[in-house]
Structure 1
Amino acid sequence: MKASLKKSKEPSTAFIIIDIEKKDYEQKVEDVLKSYQKSINIPGFRKGFVPKSIIKKKYEIPTIADEVNKLIQEELNLFIKKEGLEIIGGPILNEKGKIDWSDDKLSFEFELGLAPDFKVDFKTKKKIDFYKISADKKIIDDQILNYRKQYGKLISQSAIKEDFEISVSFKSDQLGIDSSGIIKLSDIKSKDACQKISVLKLGEKTSVNIENFFKDNTKAENIFKFPTEKIKTFSGEVELEIKEINQRDLAEMNQEFFDKIFGKDKIKSISEMKQKMSKEIEKDLEKQSEQKLFNDVTEFLIKEIKFELPQKFLKKWMRTTNKEKIELNQIDEEYKKSEKGIRYRLIQEKIIKDQNFSISNDEIKNYIKEMIALQSKQYGQVSPQGMELDNIVQRLMSNQDEISRISNQLMTKKTLDFFKEKAPLRSKKVTFDEFLKKAYAKA
């Protein structure tokens, strides 16, 4: 087997020629056919005694094709790595008629899209705004109100009013629903259902149309214990019964209240609580500001860094690899939708390569431990330690999808830190409402 590189008339593409001889795959094909002969079931023959000629006639060509394809993929990957070729998309086989798999010599030609050469720098007078979001009085007061509701006492009521917590059950044999949960009138999307429920007393029942009952999909999932896709198929009447009606009295802002939120004796007064909340809120809001910064720097780099893409190749590659067939008259539009993403991926890969960014197992483990501690705190639970923590980390480390997700997040964090250090930033202090107007302003 031999692989060679052939130049293209276009500077942004090239060709890899792979020549394969019969000796490269015949032993492997022979081994596969022998295993078939031992295990295959064909009517009229005992298992393990099917004549070799029948096996060969039926399975030889498909087996050759399968083994040759494996060799091609191996050789392509090795050759691209050995030659240091930086490619866009993936190799495309140039089909030259029907392949005769019985030939002693086979030749395959693959077209490659070559990644452009460019530099990532921030040598510009343009400035990118980095928003520092301050926690204003309104956002702090809203947070305090939420805590007072959360830790307030429940007072039983006989009639329903706005903002009361209503414990209800839903039943329908036809839809397989038998669930219960706590709702408020404000959770309900249907005006008709809301009106029906608002006049009910404790223990009373009514029928409601389940279709689009809740405003929020997450609320529906939590109540019905079905995924959103399943819930969207629900249609018809279900029985709803009022089990409890409660008014949540606001908690007093005393030492017991402070201890529940921040820990025993950590906060002694309302002013201390507000200062602490202000810092915590601003830390949380910083994540939103950083996400906007990341998006803005990304847009900046895409506009500022100029390089040519192998458009003709990429359009061909998109048509070849897309699961849903793209017609010729649609390809230009599809390419326009994808071009910005392609350009950013190339820029990100260049940054990662130039800065020697990598993600170690220890970084992934530490990230998992931090997330476990954070989630435990959010739910008011004691964070696992020692062997229990190690077992959770080990379980997550064995999940490749989870590892990939965490690695991507860590790489995004390293890229963000690079942006903060190198990009021409201008710090701007804003309130949360001002930030929202900036972040979601129409272009």
Structure 2
Amino acid sequence: MNISLQNVDKVSAVLTAQIEKADYQAQVDKSLKTLRQRVNMPGFRKGMVPMGLIKKQYGTSVLIEEVDKLLQEKVGEYIRDNKVNMLGTPLPKENNVNFATDENFEFSFDIALAPEFDLALSKEDTIDYYDINVTDEMVEQQVKMYTQRTAKYEKVEEYQDNDLLKGLLAELDENGNTKEGGVQVEGAVMMPSYMKNDEQKAIFNGVKVNTVLVFNPAAAFDNNEAELASLLKVKKEEVANHKGNFSFQIEEITRMIPGDLNQELFDQVLGEGKAHTEEEFRAQIKEVIAGQFAADADYKFLIDVRNYAMNKVGKLEFADELMKRIMLDNNKDKGEEFVSQNYDKSIEELTWHLIKEKLVAANSIKVEQSDISDMAKEATRAQFAQYGMINVPDELLENYSKEMLKKRESVEALVNRVIETKLANVLKEQVTLNHKAVSAEEFNQMFQ
């Protein structure tokens, strides 16, 4: 079998494969013999059908199948062995082949080639790097969350902000009397601190157990159908029928008393013996938040590297018509309109992919199995951290990460994260960083 590649221009080529009878005949004969053992044909015992009949009935289809398999195998080998920097897959040209009569075949394919370009980053290249400030307020919010987890709940006599109220809720008529047939909810529970209307919220200031007050739920909760339906125990579509005042007889007031900042809490959150004082505890919480921000900063850094590198490389040349054919071949169900609308964005993503590949190769970045396993654990740890769970046992991390590694799409995402993490670390040392201190709010606005 002879395979050759002829460049049409810098970004496209034609691959030609010439197949002779000697290349495929042995495998075709083997497949026909195997088929003969399975074929049932009237007048013949199974496995005893004459080979002539087998060839007559199945010979062409077996030939097509074996030639196709041979073609895919050898073309793939040629591309790998000759390091053809191909984009997409080979697209068959219109080949004049007759399997019923010919013994030798020639197939041609259009090949899209990746454009050649140079890119090197050094200290002469300056790229922004955003250092996100960890404020005392952030630390306080995190500490407050931990103390709320170990909170106790006490029954009190007088309402304060953030207390929970429980009582009898009754709909009133226009005269302020209990409405006949109106909504009544026993054991209704609410937190006035969640009310959107300050005037309605103020009605509850300093109220005591057994107090009966009048307020307007629709005004208090800004006509939020979901909240009102939950409070009044009616369907969302019925909420509009209950816009008036309600009486509320307070039967119970419950207050959350945050847990103490003590050694038990420190050990529970951080692990045994990691902190012994409130100052040490807060310092480590600050480090955890800073670590989460560092990952976000690296993500933004790579976005800026992408923009910087793409501007430095400039617009790359692609075999546009051929690339559109490849895109259409991969999205047959979506059609030409989809290709037309998404081609430019696809080329932009492909350009970054090629740039990233070049940077990865230039810096000899490799991905080992241990890297993937470690990243799975870090991803799991980060998921727990979002819910304030810092001290997660290694066994639990191991179990969760193993489940993640069972899914192919998860493994692909982890491999990409490993590559990007290693690339960010290398490039931070390679280029000049223009450090910019920003607040979390300012940083988040960059993604809006």
TM-score by length of 1: 0.72
CA contact (8 A) 1:149 1:248 kept: no
Tell me the distance in 2 between the aligned counterparts of 1:396 and 1:41.
Answer: 48
CA contact (8 A) 1:92 1:317 kept: yes
Instruction: Give the partner amino acid of 1:67.
Output: E
In structure 2, the CA distance between the partners of 1:410 and 1:129, relative to structure 1 (3 Å rule), is same
Following superposition, the deviation at residue 289 of structure 1 comes to 1.3
In structure 2, the CA distance between the partners of 1:399 and 1:144, relative to structure 1 (3 Å rule), is closer
Following superposition, the deviation at residue 111 of structure 1 comes to 1.7
Partner of 1:254: 261
CA distances 1:172-204 after superposition (whole Å, capped 9, x unpaired): xxxxxxxxxxxxxxxx9x94443232135xxxx
Instruction: Give the partner amino acid of 2:394.
Output: S
> Is 2:360 the partner of 1:352?
yes
Q: Which of these residues, 143, 151, 160, is aligned with residue 189 of structure 2?
A: 160
Give runs of aligned pairs for residues 42-441 of structure 1, distance below 5 A.
46-97=45-96, 99-122=98-121, 127-153=126-152, 158-162=187-191, 191-199=224-232, 249-255=256-262, 256-306=264-314, 307-327=316-336, 331-368=339-376, 378=389, 381-384=392-395, 401-437=409-445, 439-441=446-448
CA contact (8 A) 1:154 1:246 kept: no
In structure 2, the CA distance between the partners of 1:248 and 1:58, relative to structure 1 (3 Å rule), is farther
Following superposition, the deviation at residue 282 of structure 1 comes to 1.2
What is the SS of the residue equivalent to 2:189?
A: coil
**Which piece of structure 1 moves more, 112-121 or 17-26?**
112-121
Instruction: Give the partner amino acid of 1:251.
Output: P
Following superposition, the deviation at residue 73 of structure 1 comes to 1.5
In structure 2, the CA distance between the partners of 1:290 and 1:2, relative to structure 1 (3 Å rule), is same
What is the SS of the residue equivalent to 2:80?
A: helix
Instruction: Give the partner amino acid of 2:188.
Output: A
CA contact (8 A) 1:373 1:383 kept: no
What is the SS of the residue equivalent to 2:395?
A: coil
In structure 2, the CA distance between the partners of 1:247 and 1:382, relative to structure 1 (3 Å rule), is farther
CA distances 1:373-420 after superposition (whole Å, capped 9, x unpaired): 7778838553229xx96x998887676555433322211212212321
Tell me the distance in 2 between the aligned counterparts of 1:32 and 1:346.
Answer: 42
Tell me the distance in 2 between the aligned counterparts of 1:257 and 1:107.
Answer: 75
Following superposition, the deviation at residue 285 of structure 1 comes to 1.2
Partner of 2:163: none
Following superposition, the deviation at residue 303 of structure 1 comes to 1.8
In structure 2, the CA distance between the partners of 1:99 and 1:138, relative to structure 1 (3 Å rule), is farther
Following superposition, the deviation at residue 310 of structure 1 comes to 2.2
Following superposition, the deviation at residue 103 of structure 1 comes to 0.9
CA contact (8 A) 2:11 2:319 kept: yes
Partner of 1:3: 3
Tell me the distance in 2 between the aligned counterparts of 1:415 and 1:110.
Answer: 36
Tell me the distance in 1 between the aligned counterparts of 2:444 and 2:91.
Answer: 45
Following superposition, the deviation at residue 343 of structure 1 comes to 0.5
CA contact (8 A) 2:380 2:401 kept: no
CA contact (8 A) 1:193 1:208 kept: yes
CA contact (8 A) 2:20 2:105 kept: yes
What is the SS of the residue equivalent to 2:394?
A: coil
In structure 2, the CA distance between the partners of 1:429 and 1:119, relative to structure 1 (3 Å rule), is same
Following superposition, the deviation at residue 109 of structure 1 comes to 0.9
In structure 2, the CA distance between the partners of 1:41 and 1:397, relative to structure 1 (3 Å rule), is farther
Following superposition, the deviation at residue 371 of structure 1 comes to 5.5
Partner of 1:241: none
**Which piece of structure 1 moves more, 46-55 or 16-25?**
46-55
| Number of aligned residues | 373
Instruction: Give the partner amino acid of 2:189.
Output: I
% same residue = 24
CA contact (8 A) 2:150 2:259 kept: no
CA contact (8 A) 2:14 2:109 kept: yes
- Tell me how large the CA RMSD over aligned residues is: 3.7
Following superposition, the deviation at residue 330 of structure 1 comes to 6.0
What is the SS of the residue equivalent to 2:110?
A: strand
CA contact (8 A) 1:17 1:107 kept: yes
CA contact (8 A) 1:92 1:112 kept: yes
Following superposition, the deviation at residue 105 of structure 1 comes to 0.5
CA contact (8 A) 1:359 1:411 kept: yes
In structure 2, the CA distance between the partners of 1:101 and 1:70, relative to structure 1 (3 Å rule), is farther
CA contact (8 A) 1:61 1:102 kept: no
Tell me the distance in 2 between the aligned counterparts of 1:324 and 1:2.
Answer: 35
Partner of 1:183: none
In structure 2, the CA distance between the partners of 1:23 and 1:394, relative to structure 1 (3 Å rule), is farther
Following superposition, the deviation at residue 83 of structure 1 comes to 2.3
**Structure 2 runs not aligned, ≥5 long:** 156-165, 167-186, 194-220, 238-251
